[in-house]
Chains A and B, each alone.
Chain A
Amino acid sequence: MRLQAIQIAYLIATALFIFSLHWMNDPKSARRGVLAGVAAMAVAIVGTLLSPGLVHWHWIAIGVVLGTAVGVPLSWVPLTAVPQRTALSHAFGGLAAGLVGAAEYYLWVGSEPEMLTPFRVFAIVAEIILGFLTFTGSLMAAGKLQEVKWIPQRPVTYPFQNQSNFLLLGVAVLCGIGVILKPVEWSFLFPVVIALALAFGVLLIIPIGGADMPTVIALLNSYAGLSAVAMGFVLDNKLLITAGALDGSSGLILSIIMCKAMNRSFTNVLFGAFGQVQAKAVAGEQKLVKQETPEGAAQIMEQANLVVIVPGYGMAVAQAQHRVRELYDQLSKRGVDVRFAIHPVAGRMPGHMNVLLAETEIPYDKLVEMDDINPDLPQADVVLVIGANDVVNPAARHEKTSPIYGMPIIDADKAKMCFAIKRSMNPGFAGIDNELYTADHTYMLFGDAKGVVGELVKNLAGGSGMH
Chain B
Amino acid sequence: MDTAPTTDFITMLFVFMLATFIGLGIITRVSRLLHTPLMSLTNAISAIAVVGSILVTGRDHPPFITLLGVIALFASMTNIISGFLITDRMLKMFKKEPTK
Contacts and interface: CB of A to CB of B under 8 A. Distances in A.
Interface stretch (A56-64, A165-173, A203-211, A386-394): A56-64
B66 A79 contact: no
Contacts, number: 387
A361 B57 CA distance: 44
Nearest to B6: A236
Interface string B34-55: 1111111111111111111111
A237 B49 CA distance: 11
Contacts of B4: 3, 6-7, 236-237
5 contacts: A51-B58, A224-B43, A244-B48, A350-B35, A354-B34
A300 interface: no
A213 to B, nearest CB: 12
Given A54-B59, A55-B58, A238-B15, A228 B39 contact: no
Interface string A195-239: 000000000000000000000011001001101110111111111
Given A235-B52, A365-B97, A34 B84 contact: yes
B39 A71 contact: no
Interface residues on B, range: 35 or more
B97 A231 contact: no
Interface in A98-149: 99-100, 102-104, 106-107, 110, 115, 119
Given A37-B41, A239-B48, A71 B88 contact: no
A200 B60 CA distance: 34
B69 to A, nearest CB: 6
B36 A82 contact: yes
A168 to B, nearest CB: 25
Given A72-B82, A350-B35, A351-B32, 6 more contacts: A59-B66, A67-B81, A89-B78, A95-B75, A103-B65, A218-B39
A68 B34 CA distance: 25
B7 to A, nearest CB: 6
Given A67-B76, A102-B68, A364-B96, A34 B35 contact: no
A358 interface: yes
Contact of A246 (B45, B77, B78, B86): B45
A236 B56 contact: no
Interface string B57-100: 11111101110111111111111111111111111111111100
B41 A20 contact: yes
Interface of B: 1-7, 9, 12, 15-16, 19-20, 22-24, 26-62, 64-66, 68-98
A85 B76 CA distance: 14
A231 B39 contact: no
Contact of B23 (A95, A248, A355): A248
Contacts of B33: 27, 351, 354, 358, 364, 367
A312 interface: no
B9 to A, nearest CB: 5
Given A31-B92, A64-B73, A228-B49, A71 B20 contact: no
A341 B19 CA distance: 34
A358 B93 CA distance: 5
A408 interface: no
A74 interface: yes
Contacts of B72: 63, 95-97, 99-100, 103
Given A75-B89, A352-B36, A89 B49 contact: no
A139 to B, nearest CB: 12
Contacts of B41: 20-21, 24, 33-34, 37
Nearest to B92: A31
- The list of the 7 closest CB pairs from A to B, nearest first, reads A67-B77, A71-B81, A63-B73, A351-B35, A249-B23, A75-B85, A54-B58
A249 B79 contact: no
A369 B31 CA distance: 11
Given A24-B31, A93-B46, A358 B81 contact: no
